[in-house]
Structure 1
Amino acid sequence: MNTDHLFEVLAEPHRRTMLDLMLRKERTVGELVQLLPLSQPGVSKHLRVLREAGLVTLRKEAKQHWYRLNPSPLQDIDDWFEPYRRFWTNKLDDLEKHLDEESE
């Protein structure tokens, strides 16, 4: 999956909220409609985008559609952030060292 596309998908706040809700447990469309300020068609639209991006999987059980978080594509985002994480860690280490020297 293209990292730019993942950022576009994750830029929408309702989609991030849906992923947060599915982080805890698998959810049905009905549960998500109850938990979000969206209509059933709105929830379904966002779920389709998340599914196409590979961020959720669908399991059908009778008339119920269960959605589950698939964290694998998020690894691409985490990999993209890694150099920035190192950059800020180094800067914070330098600041800590500077403050320690100032207090001596």
Structure 2
Amino acid sequence: MSENIQSRDVFDAIADPTRRRLIELLAEAEAEEVPLYELTAQFEMGRTAVSKHLTVLKEADLVHDRKVGRETRFKLNAAPLREIQDWVAFYSKFWSNDMMRLSQLLEEENEPN
């Protein structure tokens, strides 16, 4: 019997502001597990809506969950965010070049004539 494990793209998972806020809240917990009710309290939406967002994060392996009695606790798995960091780092060279050109332009404008 094979288990159908659905995987989601990390970029897709962080595209929604609610999911980015959930990641932030879990990151602030500093590797501690956070119960669903505590996460839900941070939003103006119900438990079911927050759970759906957490499911998307789980499918991207950004969140791990664990049942403790009747309560579900969540913990951030930041490792998949490395893909995003690497992608942004590639393009940062363009920003660096722009900043160097701006700096040179400002220096030229400030030179006495």
Q: Show the counterpart of 1:44.
A: 51
**Structure 2 length-normalised TM:** 0.82
Deviation at 1:56, TM superposition (A): 0.8
Distance 2:104 2:14 in 1: 36
Off by >4 Å, runs of 4+ in structure 1: none
1:57-89, CA deviations, whole angstroms, 9 ceiling, x for partnerless residues? 112222221111111110001111112111101
Distance 2:84 2:74 in 1: 21
Distance 1:9 1:51 in 2: 9
Note the residue ranges of structure 2 that are not aligned, 5 or more in a row: 1-7
Q: Show the counterpart of 2:5.
A: none
Query: Which protein is bigger by CA-based radius of gyration?
Result: 2
Q: What is the identity percentage for the equivalent residue pairs of Structure 1 and Structure 2? A: 38
Note the residue ranges of structure 1 that are not aligned, 5 or more in a row: none
Q: How many residues align?
A: 101
One-letter amino acid of the structure 1 residue matched with residue 65 of structure 2: L
The counterpart of 1:24, out of the listed 6, 24, 28, is 28
One-letter amino acid of the structure 2 residue matched with residue 92 of structure 1: M
Output the aligned Cα RMSD.
Answer: 1.4
